[in-house]
Structure 1
């Protein structure tokens, strides 16, 4: 990779910091509003959404390994999160018949309902925090 001149390097670092700030603001807004309105954290919502999107053959389920990569959580963090969702009746875990080492996570009817209720809130926050601001005129 070629060396960047000082101006290009500053611009790159500024862009990186802006991206981090935008991510943090969006994540905080999602956590606050999803929790206040629906009792869900951002990561919990993301798991429910990935399961809702995985419907195949009428069953919304994914292997834990697939979920971990999709929601960018470690196996242990995801396992704890799934445990909380399971305790709340929003998901169920089951052993994979083809591979006893694999575990499937399935969306329950209550999980589908909570996801459907929370989805508009999540989309509202994303639209508010991620929509580009109009360029200053003048």
Structure 2
């Protein structure tokens, strides 16, 4: 790759980082202010809602998200303390932990989903034009 090509790639990378930072900060702020959850908590709820049975193995949920296993564990613990999810052990494999969406979690997700979609539309609509 030429030096000009490398510079273009680095410039694009920095643009992506700046865009992600702007959107994620705005999203985290809006979700926290309106619904008392952060972006990571919303994403976990969103992945559970998208699951066909609204119950996922922690390991599978971690594979779908951008969080490390320990960060996801802390996120799920916060959601559990808030009554938005429940954790349970797998009967067949004691190493596996299931995360299940509660009725309160489904309701909070529905409310927060509107906020999330509005923030994404506000920040990303200009980029797609």
Q: Which TM-score band (shorter chain)?
A: over 0.9
Structure 2 distance, partners of 1:88, 1:51, is: 16
The yes-or-no answer on 1:15 pairing with 2:12 is: yes
From the two aligned structures, give the one with the greater helix fraction: 2
Q: 1:97 aligns with which of 91, 94, 98?
A: 91
Give the Å deviation of 1:132: 3.5
Question: Which segments of structure 1 move beyond 4 Å, counting only runs of 4 or more?
Answer: none
TM-score, normalised by the number of residues in structure 1 = 0.88
CA RMSD of aligned residues (A): 1.3
Unaligned stretches of 5+ in structure 1? none
Unaligned stretches of 5+ in structure 2? none
Q: Paired residue for 2:47?
A: 50
Bigger mean CA deviation after superposition, 124-133 or 8-17: 124-133
TM-score, normalised by the number of residues in structure 2 = 0.94
Structure 1 distance, partners of 2:101, 2:124, is: 28
SS in 2 for 1:48: helix
